[in-house]
A = this chain, B = another copy of it.
Amino acid sequence: MTTLTKSQIKRKALVEATIELVNNSGFHAAPMSKIAKMANVSPATIYLYFENKQDLVNKVYIEVKAAFTEYAFATYDPKMDVEKGFEIIWKRIADFKLKECEEAMFLAQCDNTPIIDEPSRQEGIKHLQPLLDLWERGRKEGRIKPLSDYILYAYAINPLSFLMIMQKRGAFQLDEDHLEEAYQSAWSSIKK
């Protein structure tokens, strides 16, 4: 249990308010004044923690992405068998997307729009390296199809984002059975 200083609490409130407002209204309808109000803070206070609105969104993106990948790889060990490693990572990602739904929605929005600047996007990608390493090993061992990382990601990981968004919009319910089906689809699309 890490106790937060008052400063850290305020900053966290700002980050959460940003995520919620951008998720529900979009960047264009998430003014600093509303973010401040939602975080119970004066608009001016935001500028003690962030340079400007762009900086705020960039930093929220990078931090959420870091939290996402940390969660994704928390129970993974590079010494694991390729198939087992992939299953572990995939299921942790699924977990995150369903449980930390707000954060995941925010990432999806950033990944599909120009609201994040290019350096922040690059910074966010870095953290995926363990997965790319796993795939590289899998290809070398002949256990994973010799496809580019982008195609593997498109078929094995990204579908979860689509399902999470549909779930968030109430279009359908992603239960345990669905999740297992989805995992099987994911694995069968990359396994040799």
Q: Which residue of B145, B153, B172, B185 contacts A155 across the interface (Cβ within 8 Å)?
A: B185
Q: Is A43 an interface residue (CB 8 A)?
A: no
Q: Which chain B residues border A182 with CB–CB below 8 Å?
A: 151, 154-155
Contacts of A160 in B (CB 8 A): 154
Across the two chains, which residue of chain B brings its CB closest to A182? B151
A120 CB-CB contact with B under 8 Å:
no
The verdict on A8 contacting chain B, using a C-beta distance below 8 Å, is no
Q: How far is the CB of A163 from chain B (nearest CB, A)?
A: 5
A31 CA to B9 CA, complexed, in Å = 35
Choose among A155, A160, A163, A178 the residue with the greatest number of B CB atoms under 10 Å from its CB. A155
Q: Please report the C-alpha to C-alpha distance between residue A111 and residue B105 in the assembled complex, in whole angstroms.
A: 12
State which size class the interface on A falls in.
35 or more
Task: Give the contact stretch, choosing among A10-18, A19-27, A88-96.
Answer: A19-27
**Bound state CA distance, A163 and B156, in angstroms?**
13
Question: With A and B bound together, what is the CA distance between A111 and B181 in angstroms?
Answer: 24
Say yes or no: B114 contacts A25, CB within 8 Å: yes
Residue from the set A163, A185, A186 with the largest chain B CB neighbour count within 10 Å = A185
Report A154-182 CB contacts with B as 1/0, cut-off 8 Å: 11001110110110000110000010011
Asked if A178 and B151 make an inter-chain contact with CB atoms under 8 angstroms apart, the answer reads yes
- Contact sample, A vs B, 29 pairs, CB 8 Å cutoff: A23-B114, A26-B113, A27-B27, A27-B28, A108-B112, A109-B112, A112-B165, A145-B181, A147-B185, A148-B178, A150-B163, A150-B166, A150-B171, A150-B172, A151-B181, A151-B182, A151-B185, A153-B162, A154-B160, A154-B162, A154-B182, A155-B155, A155-B182, A155-B186, A158-B159, A159-B159, A185-B189, A188-B188, A189-B189
